[in-house]
């Protein structure tokens, strides 16, 4: 991949992933407001806001790095997608976070509907708590993924090890032949 | 690639790094926690909402239509 294109994709990837982190933090704040506030207008606004943020911000920001910029960056550079543990674990975190997000789309829409009607009941309490717990856990997972991307801890997978060994063998064979 | 790590030689691949083991342990702990919470009654969604809402974001018009639809279903 050309350096200019690589820099552009990397910028997009950082923007998407950090934006996802920020949007989940906003979601968590709204979730806490919806859970703790006694003002019905604040509760209603919080759940409607959570539904909007999820559909129009969090879902696109989670899918873009997972399906687009992440694979392009890892496969288009010497890092690879399966060669280093930190990339593999980051991929796992993103996959799991996106899955949990998609599973929660329906309950979020349900809460927004109920809250906008003003019919939120005590039976919905566990779902309200679940929103706070899930977004809090998601925030921690995304922070861990960001840390992995910055620190890039050592450790090659057996696949990456073999691949690098074969590449070195081929280059040394060429050196000997020339 | 600018990382300073042991390069592959002729030997066998290196074992699992300590930090990876830590991540795996935390992951297993979290999965167990989710399973236990699930068994205690903190399920993933449900609540009798039978409409399968779209997973991907549409336009704002679609959003308002789906909200109106959801509210209509809740009234009945």
ipTM of the complex: 0.70
Judge whether residue B3 has pLDDT over 60.
Answer: no
Specify whether the CB–CB gap between A65 and A16 falls below 8 A.
Answer: yes
Q: Dump pLDDT digits (tens) for B24-71.
A: 999 899 889 888 877 887 655 444 443 433 333 334 445 555 556 665
Q: Return the residue in A161, A162, A166, A168 with the most chain B beta carbons within 10 A, the one to mutate for interface testing.
A: A161
Q: Dump pLDDT digits (tens) for A49-78.
A: 999 999 999 999 999 999 999 999 988 888
Give the helix/strand (H/E) hosting B36. helix B18-39
Query: Distance from B10 to chain A by nearest Cα, in Å?
Result: 8
List of chain A residues whose C-beta atoms are within 8 Å of the C-beta of residue B3: 152, 154
Q: Would residue B28 be called left, alpha or beta, if left means φ above 0 and alpha means ψ between -120 and 50 degrees?
A: alpha
List of chain A residues whose C-beta atoms are within 8 Å of the C-beta of residue B50: none
pLDDT at B7: 53
Specify whether the CB–CB gap between A115 and A52 falls below 8 A.
Answer: no
pLDDT at A89: 94
The stretches in chain A having pLDDT less than 70 are: 178
CB within 8 Å: A127 and B47: yes
What pTM value is reported for the model?
0.77
pLDDT at B71: 59
pLDDT at A6: 92
Smallest CA-to-CA distance from A54 within A125, A126, A135 is with A135
pLDDT at B46: 47
- B49: three-class secondary structure by DSSP: coil
Smallest CA-to-CA distance from A65 within A43, A47, A41, A81 is with A81
pLDDT at B53: 39
- A58: three-class secondary structure by DSSP: helix
List of chain A residues whose C-beta atoms are within 8 Å of the C-beta of residue B13: 156-158, 161-162
How sure is the predictor about B2, in pLDDT bands with cuts at 50, 70 and 90? Answer: very low
Measured distance CA(A144)–CA(A128) in Å, rounded: 25
Query: Distance from A178 to chain B by nearest Cα, in Å?
Result: 22
How many residues belong to chain B? 76
């Amino acid at each position: 991949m050309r350096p200019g294109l690589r820099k552009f994709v990397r910028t997009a990837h950082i923007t998407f992933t950090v934006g996802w982190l920020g949007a989940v933090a906003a979601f968590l704040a709204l979730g806490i407001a919806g859970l703790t506030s006694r003002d019905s207008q604040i509760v209603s606004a919080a759940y409607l806001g959570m539904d909007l943020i999820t559909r129009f911000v969090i879902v696109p920001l989670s899918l873009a790095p997972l399906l687009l910029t992440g694979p392009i960056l890892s496969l288009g550079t010497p890092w690879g997608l399966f060669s280093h543990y930190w990339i593999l674990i980051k991929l796992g975190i993103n996959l799991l976070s996106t899955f949990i997000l998609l599973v929660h789309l329906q309950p979020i829409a349900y809460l927004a509907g109920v809250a906008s009607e003003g019919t939120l009941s005590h039976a919905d309490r566990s779902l309200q708590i679940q929103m706070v717990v899930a977004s809090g856990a998601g925030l921690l997972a995304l922070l861990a993924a960001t840390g992995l991307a910055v620190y890039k801890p050592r450790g090659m997978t057996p696949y990456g090890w073999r691949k690098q060994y074969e590449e070195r063998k081929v280059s040394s064979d060429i050196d000997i032949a020339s | 690639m600018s990382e300073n790590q042991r390069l592959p030689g002729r030997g066998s691949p290196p074992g699992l790094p300590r930090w990876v083991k830590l991540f795996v342990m935390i992951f297993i702990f979290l999965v167990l926690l989710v399973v236990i919470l699930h068994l205690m009654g903190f399920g993933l969604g449900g609540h009798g909402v039978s409409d399968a809402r779209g997973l991907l974001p549409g336009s704002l018009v679609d959003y308002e239509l789906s909200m109106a639809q959801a509210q209509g279903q809740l009234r009945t």
